[in-house]
């Protein structure tokens, strides 16, 4: 029963206090306040770490190290960003360290994702270069589809993967992301776009393959 009471106190803490009060208390040395902040963010940090590394053990290490680093540096948090945003930047630094051995490639330029000829030319000739997937759920099993998506995310170079995940999975704004990854707003925008275009490309090719081999 001890555990349940403990948990109830965390929940009570979390609901009675807003984030900035919890942070103030934590910075003054209140472990329960810090625990409430941990509980509010641990699953999101884990999900991000798992998608970044595609490795559950690495993701667990990242979660643990992120919160340990947060303890070590708690007084350095000045409240210019949300606490969660601060944690994300710590977590991404940890993830980068885990991914340091992987080679960092660049994606092709944005312009290369569309047919090179003009819309007018293509329209006149009635040429379509892009594959229209329609709804892949109609064609593939959920598990097949999941594998395609996970592979596509895993194949993105890390700096694009993190930009994409922060934007569309964690739903942060471009401005928030630019602070976390320490890039200008313009280059953050272009990174997110290139990531999305590259993912689309990868998924499109994989689906075209699969659709081709499915017996209808």
- Binding-site partner at residue 129 among Zn ion, other proteins, none, CB < 5 to 8 Å by type: other proteins
CB of 22 to other proteins, least distance (A): 14
Choose between 101 and 118: whose C-beta lies nearer to other proteins: 118
Q: What is the DSSP string of 142-197?
A: HHHHHHHHHHHHHHS-HHHHHHHIIIIIS---HHHHHHHHT--HHHHHHHHHHHHH
129 binds other proteins (CB under 8 A): yes
Q: Which of 17, 107, 122, 181 binds other proteins (CB under 8 A)?
A: 122
CA dihedral (39, 44, 47, 48) positive or negative: negative
Q: Within the chain, what is the greatest distance between any pair of CA atoms?
A: 74
Closest CA to 99 of 50, 44, 169: 50
Beta carbons within 10 angstroms of residue 16's beta carbon: 10
Phi, psi of 140 (to 5 degrees): -120, 155
Please give the Cα distance from 198 to 37 (Å, whole number): 35
Whether residue 26 contacts residue 40, with contact meaning beta carbons closer than 8 Å, is answered with: no
Please give the Cα distance from 39 to 37 (Å, whole number): 5
CB of 23 to other proteins, least distance (A): 15
Q: Of the ranges 37-45, 119-127, 146-154, 166-174, which one interacts with Zn ion (CB under 5 A)?
A: 119-127
Q: Which of 1, 2, 116, 119 binds Zn ion (CB under 5 A)?
A: 119
CB of 66 to other proteins, least distance (A): 11
- Binding-site partner at residue 93 among Zn ion, other proteins, none, CB < 5 to 8 Å by type: none
Q: Which of 1, 2, 4, 119 binds other proteins (CB under 8 A)?
A: 119
CB of 142 to other proteins, least distance (A): 8
Positions that interact with other proteins (CB under 8 A): 29, 31, 34-35, 38, 42-43, 46-47, 50, 56, 60, 63-64, 67-68, 71-72, 110-111, 113-115, 118-120, 122-123, 128-133, 136, 145-146, 149, 153, 164, 168-169, 189-190, 192-193, 196-197, 199-200, 203-204
């Amino acid at each position: 029963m001890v555990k349940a009471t403990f948990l109830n106190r965390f929940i009570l803490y979390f609901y009675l206090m807003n984030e900035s009060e919890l942070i103030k208390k934590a910075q003054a040395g209140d472990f329960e306040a810090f625990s409430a902040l941990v509980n509010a963010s641990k699953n999101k940090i884990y999900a991000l770490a798992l998608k970044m590394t595609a490795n559950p053990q690495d993701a667990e290490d990242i979660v643990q190290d992120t919160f340990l680093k947060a303890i070590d540096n708690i007084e350095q948090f000045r409240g210019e960003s949300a606490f969660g945003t601060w944690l994300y930047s710590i977590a991404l630094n940890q993830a980068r360290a885990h991914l340091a051995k992987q080679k960092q490639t660049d994606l092709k330029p944005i312009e290369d994702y569309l047919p090179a000829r003009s819309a007018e030319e293509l329209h006149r000739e009635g040429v379509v270069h892009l594959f229209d997937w329609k709804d892949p759920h109609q064609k593939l099993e959920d598990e097949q589809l999941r594998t395609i998506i996970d592979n596509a995310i895993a194949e993105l170079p890390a700096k694009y993967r993190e930009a994409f995940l922060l934007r569309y999975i964690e739903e942060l704004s471009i401005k928030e992301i630019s602070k976390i990854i320490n890039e200008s707003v313009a280059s953050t925008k272009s990174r997110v776009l290139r990531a999305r275009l590259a993912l689309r490309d990868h998924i499109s090719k994989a689906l075209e393959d699969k659709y081709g081999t499915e017996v209808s």
